[in-house]
Amino acid sequence: MTAAPFDKSIASPAVLSADLEALAAEFGTPLFIYDEGAMRDRCREYVDAFGAENVAFAGKSFLCTAMVRLVMEEGLHLDCATGGEMHVALIAGFPAERIVLHGNNKSDEELNAALSAGVGRIVADSNDELDRLERLGAELGVVPRVLVRVTPGVEAHTHEFIETGTEESKFGFTVSSGVALAAAQRVVASTSLEFAGLHCHIGSQIWVLESYARAVEVVLDLVAAITATTGAVVEETVMGGGLGVRYLAEDPPTDIAAYALTLRDAITTGSQSRGLMAPRVMVEPGRSIVAAAGATLYRVGTIKEIPGVATYVSVDGGMSDNPRPALYGAGYEAYLPAQIDAERPLEVRVAGKHCEQGDLIVPDAYLPANVTVGDLLVTPVTGAYGYSMASNYNKVPRPAVVFISGGAPRVVVRRETNDDLTRLDQ
């Protein structure tokens, strides 16, 4: 980060053109705002690159009824990580057959709900789950459509907490040990399960597209082994999500077309060289659809200069609306919308209001020198894994979520009130 003015190219158009003071006055702060058009544009880029049948939005990155409807209108599938996400999707009217259900530890209740609703794909993560799927499917008289999740042993060059494709991962069946092949053979042989194909997700916030090509190689070796040993054709390979997003001005741009090209090339070339019919490739993007469309509005409440140490600019939210800096050391930009073009010579720590020293939103922010209490401060590119990982830590009510479309704001999730904080107490 630098003292230069905020680089507007990282924020989305509707966020830049909105009257943020008016939004803050009307809806309060902290406030999540989303550029609805930007999310639709990213969905359409994915559809153009892969085809609507081959894109599932990863709901874990941001989910609420309005988002489910947006995904539905754009014609995508929906990746649900839990029964809770699936519930939100179904309640909002999302077609069950377009839902992909994930999870390394799905309960009987979650599986039953999925099978009863007629969920299109269940990504099986363990032999225990396959046992359960056979039993529950038989009880309900349905044949679950199963993707076998495999762990390819590929390092994705991202934060280790969000890297999921390595041998150590808790997810999926390991390819190198032969467990993945055995699981696929089991599903193919089972009369109570339908083998839909393979699933592989190597991690999140990935820039090195080559990582995907290497994962495809591992998956295609497995496809060849499955076909050679069972005669089954593997029709689908879901290559997960994970495409990196530009959080900071110095980050590279997100290139959905290049990502698609890399995946398709790897699948086509790799299938040819193995004498296989190229399987269909599906993806599950989350972050790259919603991150840049979102921004968080905060109000500066105190400014404290500790001579020779740091200047703290404290805002009215914090790790309860954005835990990513504390969890992953994730970096964000900060700017004052009232002075968006100003130089930012003052190095500050943008802190939240929580009772922890680690509650920093931007530990190394630059702001205009005249930042004052009462200013509106914005962190752009907070649309992914912010609201979805928000908590009530310190009994801080969660912010509202506002979608902006055609310049008009609408609340899609209302702000929590103090009454909500005791809603579940008995």
Using rule CB under 6 A, residue 344 touches ligand LLP: no
Using rule CB under 6 A, residue 285 touches ligand LLP: yes
Question: Cβ of residue 173: shortest distance to ligand LLP, in angstroms?
Answer: 14
104-143 footprint of ligand LLP as x/- string (CB under 6 A): ----------------------------------------
Q: How far apart are CA 68 and CA 80, in angstroms?
A: 11
Burial letters for 1-21: b for 16+ Cβ neighbours within 10 Å, e otherwise?
Answer: beeeebeeebbbebbbebebe
> Residue from 125, 163, 284, 321 that binds ligand LLP (CB under 6 A)?
284
Q: How far apart are CA 14 and CA 294, in angstroms?
A: 10
Number of residues interacting with ligand LLP: please give it, by CB under 6 A: 23
Q: Which tokens hold the place of 406?
A: 């055609």
Q: How far apart are CA 196 and CA 361, in angstroms?
A: 42
Task: Tell me which residues in 166-225 interact with ligand LLP (CB under 6 A).
Answer: 201, 204-205
Closest CA to 50 of 288, 280, 293, 290: 280
Cβ proximity to ligand LLP, 23 vs 162, nearer residue = 162
E runs forming strands in 131-193: 145-151, 173-174
Cβ proximity to ligand LLP, 10 vs 20, nearer residue = 10
> Residue from 102, 246, 344, 354 that binds ligand LLP (CB under 6 A)?
102
Instruction: Confirm whether 64 is a catalytic residue.
Output: no
Angle, CA of 352, 353 and 359, to the nearest 5° = 45
Cβ proximity to ligand LLP, 213 vs 389, nearer residue = 389
Closest CA to 266 of 192, 216, 318: 216
E runs forming strands in 239-372: 280-282, 294-306, 310-315, 346-351, 360-367
Using rule CB under 6 A, residue 254 touches ligand LLP: no
Among residues 43, 64, 80, 355, the one annotated as catalytic is 355
Selected range binding ligand LLP among 127-135, 237-245, 347-355, 361-369, rule: CB under 6 A: 237-245
Question: Cβ of residue 203: shortest distance to ligand LLP, in angstroms?
Answer: 8
Rg over CA atoms, the chain: 23
Q: Which amino acid is at 200?
A: C
Query: Token pair 């009880």 is at which residue?
Result: 139
> Residue from 83, 197, 242, 352 that binds ligand LLP (CB under 6 A)?
242
Q: How far apart are CA 425 and CA 85, in angstroms?
A: 23
Task: Tell me which residues in 375-404 interact with ligand LLP (CB under 6 A).
Answer: 385, 389
Residues in contact with ligand LLP by CB under 6 A are 58, 60-61, 79, 102, 162, 164, 201, 204-205, 240-243, 284-288, 324, 328, 385, 389
- Give the catalytic positions in this structure: 355
